[in-house]
């Protein structure tokens, strides 16, 4: 239900522009997902750009502590250099490993992209949804705001997101919704993102009720990767629970969501491996300009990997056109196709079917 909305959105954005080249490129996107060629004929319509590595919280499942990259924020000048290389860009995610609202240039980035009719979203921990930031969010043209909400009670939420205040976060979300109403604004669409952990799984039905109370229409319950040094240290993965217990909670969550009209996406309980289309359809771009196949490749130190192994090039010193079908990128796509998965992909929650 939620994923289908993004497919419809991609077509709507092209029809709104009435770009013949853009519509043709959408057709090439579709063709690429069916044939998965090593040389991709299409050009990207969606990218994720890392806006910040800094954060004001210390969440138990976060990999930020493993990062030692220098500059914590993407500058507006670097941002322009990056996205100006994507003529068919229609969807932009400005979420990185940190909190986007800590970046002083975040609203300039949103405004710049919005003026080009690009659908823009990012995820926030909602602690910085002040009155001033709320007004900037609405006036910037942000299309979608995902709020990280990992518990329906203060005890659970504050235990998972160390340094946060549940009451304050709920008040902040409510204040943003009220401001939207008072200004007659239709956006940003506000959604909830919940990391599925043993600590919060029993509160999933309550989270659906909380979403309805806050007038939020959808929740993404995201699974965690099941490998990696950070996750091995915590006993929070829902996959360690008995399967019948997870199924029962998920069933109650689905029932409550249907009753309240809240769209939800729940992670898979058992592995359901599936094809990965990301290296044909999108990229994750670090604030240093490195172009990665997806966001799973950026926490290299945590996984014992070197980030550079999965960087196909750097958009601050190279042109995208010279990277997109480079030998290195083609080799990566071939490995996905023939089952000789790159090491990072063997640990991926998408490929393993755990998300």
The neighbouring-strand residues paired with 147 are 124, 192
Of the candidates 290, 155, 146, 302, the residue with the CA atom closest to the CA atom of residue 224: 302
Q: Which residues contact 104 (CB under 8 A, 6 or more apart)?
A: 73
- Structural tokens at position 67: 């990062």
Query: Within 13 Å of residue 74, how many CA atoms lie on the same side as its CB?
Result: 32
- Structural tokens at position 139: 């006036």
Of the candidates 132, 99, 148, 92, the residue with the CA atom closest to the CA atom of residue 115: 92
Q: How many Å apart are CA 332 and CA 335, to the nearest integer?
A: 5
CB atoms within 10 A of CB 223: 21
Q: How many Å apart are CA 108 and CA 112, to the nearest integer?
A: 6
Q: How many Å apart are CA 26 and CA 23, to the nearest integer?
A: 5
Per-residue pLDDT of the chain (355 residues; tens, 9 = 90+): 444 555 566 666 666 666 788 888 988 989 999 999 999 999 999 999 999 999 999 998 887 766 666 678 999 999 999 999 999 999 999 999 899 999 999 999 999 999 999 999 999 999 999 999 999 999 999 999 999 999 999 999 999 999 999 999 999 999 999 999 999 999 999 999 999 999 999 999 999 999 999 999 999 998 875 444 455 556 677 878 889 999 999 999 999 999 999 999 998 877 666 788 899 999 999 999 999 988 877 755 544 455 567 899 999 999 999 999 999 999 999 998 888 888 778 767 565 444 4
Measured over the CA atoms of residue 319, residue 325, residue 331 and residue 337, the dihedral's sign is positive
């Amino acid at each position: 239900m939620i994923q289908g909305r993004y497919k419809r959105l991609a077509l709507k954005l092209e029809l709104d522009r009435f770009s013949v080249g853009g519509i043709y490129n959408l057709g090439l996107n579709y063709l690429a997902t069916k044939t998965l060629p090593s040389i991709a004929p299409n050009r990207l319509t969606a990218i994720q750009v890392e806006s910040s590595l800094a954060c004001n919280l210390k969440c138990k499942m976060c990999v930020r502590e493993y990062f030692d990259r220098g500059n914590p924020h993407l500058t507006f000048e670097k941002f322009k250099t990056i996205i100006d290389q994507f003529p068919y860009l229609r969807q932009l995610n400005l979420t990185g490993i940190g909190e986007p609202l800590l970046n002083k240039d975040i609203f300039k980035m949103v405004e710049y992209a919005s003026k080009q009719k690009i659908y823009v979203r990012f995820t926030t921990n909602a602690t910085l949804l002040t009155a001033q930031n709320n007004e900037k969010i609405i006036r910037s043209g942000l299309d979608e705001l995902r709020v990280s909400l990992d518990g329906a009670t203060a005890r659970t939420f504050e235990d998972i997101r160390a340094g946060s205040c549940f009451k304050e976060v709920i008040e902040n979300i409510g204040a943003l919704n009220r401001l939207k109403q008072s200004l007659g604004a239709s956006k940003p669409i506000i959604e909830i993102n919940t990391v599925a952990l043993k600590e919060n799984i029993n509160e999933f039905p309550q989270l659906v009720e909380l979403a309805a109370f806050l007038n939020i229409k959808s929740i993404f319950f995201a699974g965690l990767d099941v490998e990696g040094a950070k996750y091995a240290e915590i006993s929070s993965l829902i996959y360690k629970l008995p399967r019948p217990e997870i199924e029962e909670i998920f069933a109650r969550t689905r029932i409550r969501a249907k009753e309240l009209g809240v769209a939800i996406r729940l992670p898979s309980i058992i592995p359901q491996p599936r094809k990965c289309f990301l290296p044909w359809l999108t990229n994750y771009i670090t604030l240093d300009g490195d172009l990665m196949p997806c966001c799973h490749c950026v926490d290299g130190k945590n996984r014992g990997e070197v980030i550079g192994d999965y960087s196909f090039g750097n958009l601050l010193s190279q042109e995208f056109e010279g990277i997109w079908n480079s030998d290195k990128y083609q080799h990566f796509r071939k490995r996905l196709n023939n089952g000789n998965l790159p090491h990072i992909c063997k640990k991926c929650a998408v490929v393993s079917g755990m998300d």
